[in-house]
Structure 1
Amino acid sequence: MRSLLLILLASAAFGQRHVVVVGVDGLGGAMLGEETPQQIQELMDTGAWTLHGRGVLPTVSSPNWASMIMGAVPELHGVTSNDWQPDKFDIAPACKGPAGRFPTVFGLLHEQRPELRMAVFHDWQDFGRLIEPGVVPVLRHVEGSRQTMAAAIEYWKQAKPDLLFVHLDAVDHAGHSHGWSTDQYRKSVSAIGELLDELRGAISESGTAESTFLLLTADHGGTGTSHGHPTQRDLEIPWILNGPGVPAGHEIHALVRTIDTAATIASIFGVASHPCWTGKPVAEVLR
């Protein structure tokens, strides 16, 4: 009874809120600054943004996606390379949640706000292994960024989950195949802009636009046809947030780190950051 009362009080205090995160693998802040698709520019014009968010070293996918959803750096959560597996790692997590893993934002919300409906659609198959088993009811790998977004939009129309995370991989593929900042790379980024338009249209049609926070971010950038280098072009990422109360056209001048993303999502839902996290909510954009 006490747990139900707390849930009802939290819902009354914060109202109905939705958070949609679109994570674009390989979308470097520097490259986006060189040429910004109209749809992404519109997100910046109507929300708060920085193209100088900081990922973590090494600038490869698993450590950075893990840091984003775990609110901490690799030396704490232990995901230090793309070879990491739940039963195969070099550094043990400094802190463990109920699942015996370093706690993610999904695990925290599952524990603190069990009534929240969460869904993850991921283009890169290995993304799913970063999340504690059983905490996200809909955890689906769909190959191809367009197909991934289509599946996420279809589910949004059906269920309107409280937290939806969409991982898209096509930009990273373009970077590896043709090089970051090439014409082919830019075309891939433009295609992501079109997918964002489709997603925003679905959110608007569902009648939830006024209660939905939309965050566009990434794991890393790249140099040449690879990443993993200790350079700003590899390290810096975009962090663009739209939503109720978020100041429009506001360039964020405070440092934003990918580890701040988990804490920001939790804060939107009225949940305190996990004690093991070192990231902080981006207070400059939350009112």
Structure 2
Amino acid sequence: MMIKTTKILFVCLCLSGFVSVKSQAQRLVIIGLDGFSAEGFKTARHPNIDALVAEGVLSLTTRPVMPSITLPNWTSHLSGAGPEEHGIVNNEWKLDAHELQALEKDQEGYYPNVFKLLKEQVPGIRIGYFYNWGKLINSMNQKYFDEISFEKEFKYRANYSKAYDYLLKNRNHPTTLFLYSVHTDFAGHDHKWMSPQYITAIEEADAAIGDLLAKLKTAHLYADTHFMLITDHGGLPEGHGGVSMTEMQVPWAVTGPKINKLGLVDFANSNKNTALVIAGIYNLKNLPVTWSGVLPKNILKKNPKNLKMYLR
């Protein structure tokens, strides 16, 4: 009788929130920092990012797609393809006003991205898209998002707080959260890349990341979560869009339960590969035939057989 009563009490405490139980739901947090150069990574202090990626994979030689500007690259990250395939070749792209046609489109006319596949193949998944640069969402079909949060005036701290709330609310569902900030890029434009203000912007982002990770650990939502750290380009000196190595080398990292601990790697990598890694984490099938990204073969602890053709 005592055992049964104890079990009932424990269940009631869990439901009321007094006892935290580790969630077993599959979870991915994609942290995006715009304009984060490899040179900036090597110069700034970012202890929270360092601790996060220590158990996974870090590349400081990942190549953006060309042109090395924002919208084409974030689209490539999430769509497994380059501008020549998805058709987003500048920051002014709109669904009803663009020049280059995509090789493939969904019913609404958008190039098929990884969020579409997640919604179609992962039962019950929740997808959040949190951002602070208005044009970023233009290449995304918003019907695949369960929650969208746009923070005005290029601020980002409220979105980081909302990110925790979103992950906590959906702790028992498979969840993918895209959490993006443009403030690092603006620091480069306003004060020059590698200026003290630019380095400070990176370090402030690291502090916000650290606060989020600490809360996830307290809520027992950290250990079973995959994390990606991605960006779009570097800069030289106030701008970007060219082909200098400063613009064309960026940090890229992934960690989590399904990721091998490789540390710093130097294999060839592209922003186009991000969506393939996400597909591997969730074991997605039937990827778009026009995706040109690849899945670096040593990243996942066990490569899904259905993604064998995408392995490099």
TM beyond 0.5: yes
Secondary structure of 1:40's match? helix
Residues 59-70 of structure 1 aligned to structure 2 (within 5 Å)? 59-70=68-79
Alpha-carbon distance in structure 1 between the residues aligned to 2:57 and 2:247:
22
Q: Hey, what does 2:121 align to over in structure 1?
A: 112
1:142 aligns with 2:151: yes
Q: Which amino acid aligns with 1:146?
A: R
The alignment partner of 1:89 has SS state of coil
8 Å Cα contact 1:128-1:141 kept in structure 2:
no
The answer as to 2:250 corresponding to 1:237 is yes
The 8 Å contact of residues 26 and 172 in structure 1, kept in 2 or not, is answered as yes
| 2-structure distance, mates of 1:114, 1:247 | 26
Shift of the alpha carbon at 1:114?
4.3
Aligned to 1:12: none
1:171 — aligned with what?
184
Aligned AA (2:175)? D
Shift of 1:250: 1.4
- 1:56 and 2:65 are equivalent in the alignment: yes
Shift of 1:112: 2.1
Which amino acid counterpart does residue 99 of structure 1 have in structure 2?
Answer: E
> Secondary structure of 2:98's partner?
coil
The RMSD of aligned alpha carbons is: 1.6
**Is the aligned partner of 1:191 residue 2:204?**
yes
Q: What is the identity, as a one-letter code, of the residue corresponding to 2:252?
A: W
Structure 1 pair 199–281 and aligned structure 2 pair: CA distance change class (3 A) = farther
Cα deviation, 1:259-284, whole Å, max 9, x if unaligned, reads 11011111101103332211122332
Of 195, 212, 225, which residue of structure 2 is paired with 1:212?
225
Q: Describe the SS at the equivalent of 1:238.
A: strand
Gaps of 5+ in 1: 1-14
In the TM superposition, residue 178 of structure 1 has moved relative to its aligned partner by 0.3
Q: Could you list the per-position Cα deviations for residues 126-170 of structure 1 after superposition, in whole angstroms to 9, with x for gaps in the alignment?
A: 112221131111122113122221222222222236101101111
Match of 1:280 in 2: 294
Q: Does 1:155 align with 2:166?
A: yes
Deviation digits for residues 95-150 of structure 1 (CA, Å, limit 9, x no counterpart)? 11233211011111112224211111011111122211311111221131222212
Choose from 256, 276, 286 the match for 2:269.
Answer: 256
Q: Is the 8 A contact 2:193 2:235 kept in 1?
A: yes
Give the TM-score of the pair, scaled to structure 1: 0.90
Q: What is the percentage of aligned positions where both structures have the same residue?
A: 26
Distance 2:45 2:272 in 1: 24
Q: Is the CA contact 1:55–1:237 (under 8 Å) kept in the aligned structure 2?
A: yes
Which secondary structure does the structure 1 equivalent of 2:197 belong to?
helix
Contact 1:48 1:285 in 2 (8 A): yes
Cα distance in 2 between the residues matched to 1:248 and 1:116: 27
Q: Distance in 2 between matches of 1:110 and 1:246?
A: 22
Whether the 8 Å contact between 1:223 and 1:234 is mirrored in structure 2 is yes
SS of the equivalent of 1:30 reads helix
Q: Is the 8 A contact 2:34 2:184 kept in 1?
A: yes
Q: Which has the larger radius of gyration?
A: 2
Structure 1 stretch displaced more, 207-216 or 71-80:
207-216
Q: Deviation at 1:246? A: 2.6
Counterpart-to-counterpart distance in 1, 2:258 and 2:102 = 36
Whether 1:225 and 2:238 are equivalent positions in the alignment is yes
Q: Offset at 1:242?
A: 1.6
Deviates more, 1:143-152 or 1:224-233: 143-152
Could you tell me the TM-score, scaled by structure 2's length? 0.83
Asked if structure 2 preserves the Cα contact closer than 8 Å seen for 1:108 and 1:274, the reply is no
Q: Which residue in the other structure is 2:46 paired with?
A: 37
The structural deviation recorded for 1:245 is 4.1
Distance in 2 separating the partners of 1:128 and 1:63: 12
SS of equivalent to 1:32: helix
Q: Which shifted more, 15-24 or 60-69?
A: 15-24
Q: How many equivalent pairs are there?
A: 273
For the residue of structure 2 that corresponds to 1:195, the secondary structure is helix
Structure 2 CA distance for partners of 1:249 and 1:36, relative to 1, 3 Å? farther
Q: 1:98 to 1:52 in 2, by over 3 A?
A: same
Distance 1:129 1:168 in 2: 16
Match of 2:284 in 1: 271
Letter in 2 for 1:283: K
Q: Secondary structure at the match of 1:213?
A: strand
Deviation at 1:249, TM superposition (A): 5.7
